Amino acid sequence: MSAAADLRTILFTDMNSFTAVTQKLGDLVAQDLVRIHNEIVREALRLYHGTEIKHTGDGIMAAFVSASKAIKCAVRIQQMLVSYNDNTDKEIIVRIGINAGEPIVEENDLFGTSVQLAARLCKNAGGGEILVSDVVRQLVAGKKIRFVDRGNMLFHGFDEPTRVYEIQWYDGKTQSTKQHNS
């Protein structure tokens, strides 16, 4: 039986250009990179009290009861990946999308418009970016998070455009130039 959930903030990660990475490095190395991605994401989820909903092959879907914790988790993931990438020649570049709403809960999974929009935000983010909906930006008003207005975007399957913001998580010292230019 399906039921509407309370307000949740949904976060998706996705490894950028992962099929190309798999073709270049081979299945075994690519799977090692997925394992490293999973460890980094799961560590950040533990730190910020996120719940892993499911693994998506080359990404993870998670939920939070707090939008600010979801953003902090996303920033931590990107920072941890910069540290990892600075010490390897097999970089992991991740894009992240975050939306908030009242998803449908069924069999320990989340469904509905709020989840679909978070997935679309993730898909439209560039490597190393964190994109959030205006709903998320409004929920964290006053939290001193730096947003860059990316304008209205019309996503596949949606009738109306969504105002999108990029989280400016890097300060020039924290973000690898390799990752930002990918």
Q: What percent of the chain has a predicted confidence (pLDDT) above 70?
A: 91
Using CA atoms, how far apart are residues 122 and 127, in angstroms rounded to an integer? 10
pLDDT (average), residues 35-62: 97
Q: Whole domain around residue 71: which residue ranges?
A: 3-180
Count CB-CB contacts under 10 A for residue 35. Answer: 10
Number of structural domains, the chain? Answer: 1
pLDDT interval class at 170 (50, 70, 90) = confident
Task: Please give the pLDDT value at position 2.
Answer: 66
Give the CA angle between residues 39, 117, 136 to the nearest 5°: 80
- Confidence check: pLDDT of 131 > 60: yes
Mean pLDDT of 26-44: 97
CB 97 within 8 A of CB 118: yes
pLDDT at 180 exceeding the cut of 60: no
pLDDT for 3 beyond 90: no
Res. 109: pLDDT tops 90: yes
Cβ-Cβ contacts under 8 Å for 70 (sequence gap 6 or more): 9, 10, 11, 48, 50, 62, 64, 98, 100, 136
Q: pLDDT tens digits for 52-87?
A: 999 999 999 999 999 999 999 999 999 999 999 999
Question: Which CATH number do you get for residue 25?
Answer: 3.30.70.1230
> What value does the mean pLDDT of the chain take?
92
Q: Tell me which residue of 111, 108, 82, 102 sits closest to 94, measured CA to CA.
A: 82
pTM for the whole structure: 0.92
Token pair belonging to 35: 């394992």
3-state secondary structure 96-133: EEEEEECCEEECCEEECHHHHHHHHHHHHCCCCCEEEE
pLDDT, tens digit (0-9, with 9 covering 90-100), for 143-167: 999 999 999 999 999 999 999 999 9
pLDDT band at 5 (very low <50, low <70, confident <90, very high): low
pLDDT score of 4 more than 90: no
Alpha helices, H only, the chain:
18-25, 27-47, 67-85, 113-124, 134-139, 177-180
